Structure 1
Amino acid sequence: MLNLPTLSKNGITLEPLTLEHAHDLAAACQDGDLWTITTTSVPEPDKVIEYINKAQEMPDRSAFAVIDEHTGKAIGSTSYHDILPLPRRLEIGYTWYAQSYWRTQVNTTCKLMLLTYAFETLDYLTVGWRTDIGNHRSQQAIERLGVTKDGVIRGNRVCRDGVISDTVMYSLLKSEWPEIKTQLQERLASTQ
């Protein structure tokens, strides 16, 4: 587990996830009935406290609440996970936002902050992402970042409905980061 800072940019703050965020996150996951999407990790509204406790107990996960600075409310969550200190590799995932924030600057802003911190402060060499093969929205969001699709791991995950599914893997190397950083900054500047 990493010792997380609070990160802030463009009206979005990432702060370490705590039980203080439970009420807001219960409301956020109801914005679009997100827990009904079987290929995501969004908790049911009445299971948000369990979700937060589990995130805090996982030794290789460090979770953030995503805060809309204009409202002061948590609108979702994202995490570093599968943290491997020796090869200096981690993944970004367990990411979800209230549906009213989809296709806004929120995801790009969060990824810019997370990637900047991972590569430039933590000095990690590789950042990865994974998503269910059936979660096309997530795949499109990851691919919009400009990262490399590494491939598919077949039959390695169980969806919340019990179906065994495949995982699509992506990664970004530290040497590729400057170009992607510029692209993300330009994308954000064009939406301001």
Structure 2
Amino acid sequence: MSWHIAADVKLENDRVCLRPIEKSDRPDLAVIASDPDIWRYFVQRIDNEEDLDRFIALALDDTRAGRRVVFVIVDKSTGRLAGSMAFGNLAAAERRLEIGWSWLGRAYRGKGINRWAKYLLLEYAFETLEAERVEFKTDVLNIQARKGLANIGATEEGVFRSYNYMPDGRRRDAVYYSILKKEWPIVEAGLREHGKLSAPASVSAAA
């Protein structure tokens, strides 16, 4: 199965909808991306209009080329864009991929949206793409993200020291987490129970 199909899908449950990013999303993204707290541990920052244009252009280019699949997250309770999340480091031959590049606007944090969005991506990765391993990485200093990954059931694997440069010149230590296919049933049950997800997730072709 080609993993390029992920660039053409819309994923949703009763809480959130994920669909591939579009150029027309720029005005809504501009509203929520102006908070500098979002980018504190990000390797790419949005500080001005030009940064936002570069962010969207790269997301579109990567999605078209199959390097990543960048989604926008829609909060179904409001119908508004809440943030973004992506599949990346797609290694179809090894049945391995990464979920990351995750951020939410300030008004959407702490409301379960991150958990519900990751549930949809994990479900699609394991049950449609038939991945054997889904991995995550974050800055070792990003305690909130690390707690979030632990809370969804990901296993911490270790720290890659001096992994990459950050925009301010700091060398980041990156900590890796993963979920394996054999672990998915237990992780899924925990996500559904904690997130109080009632309606089954659906997958459809993006418009």
- Same-fold status (TM-score > 0.5): yes
Is residue 167 of structure 1 aligned with residue 169 of structure 2? no
The answer to whether the aligner puts 1:44 opposite 2:51 as a matched pair is no
Mapping of 1:146-157 within 5 angstroms? 146-157=153-164
Give the equivalent residue in structure 1 for 2:122. Answer: 115
Q: Which amino acid counterpart does residue 127 of structure 2 have in structure 1? A: E
Tell me the secondary structure at the aligned position of residue 46 of structure 2. coil
CA, structure 1 residues 179+35, in 2 after alignment: closer, same or farther (shift >3 Å)?
Answer: closer
Given residue 137 of structure 2, which amino acid in structure 1 is its aligned partner?
R
CA distance in 2, matches of 1:52, 1:121: 27
Q: What TM-score, normalized to structure 2?
A: 0.85
Runs (5+) with no aligned partner, structure 1: none
Q: Report Cα offsets for 1:3-36 as digits up to 9, x if no partner.
A: 3311111331101011111111111123x43355
Query: Identity percentage over the alignment?
Result: 29
Q: Structure 1: how far apart are the matches of 2:192 and 2:133?
A: 20
Among 60, 76, 80, the residue aligned to 1:69: 76
**Paired residue for 1:143, among 139, 150, 154?**
150
Instruction: Please give the alpha-carbon distance, in whole angstroms, between the structure 1 residues aligned to 2:68 and 2:23.
Output: 16
Checking the alignment, whether the CA contact within 8 Å between 1:42 and 1:96 is kept in structure 2 is no
State how 1:47-126 maps to structure 2 within 5 Å: 47-58=51-62, 59-126=66-133
| Range moving further from structure 2, 98-107 or 34-43 | 34-43
**Aligned partners of 1:3 and 1:39: how far apart in 2?**
23
What amino acid does structure 1 have at the position aligned with 2:146? Q
Gaps of 5+ in 2: 198-207
- Name the SS for the 1:150 alignment partner: strand
Q: Aligned residue for 1:33?
A: 36
- Tell me which amino acid in the other structure corresponds to 1:24: D
Separation (CA, whole Å) in 1 of partners of 2:162 and 2:10? 36
- Residues 42 and 12 of structure 1, relative CA distance in 2, 3 Å threshold: farther
Write the distance in 2 (CA, Å) between the matches of 1:147 and 1:121: 20
**Equivalence for 1:4:** 8
Higher RCO, 1 vs 2 (CA within 8 Å, ≥6 residues apart): 2
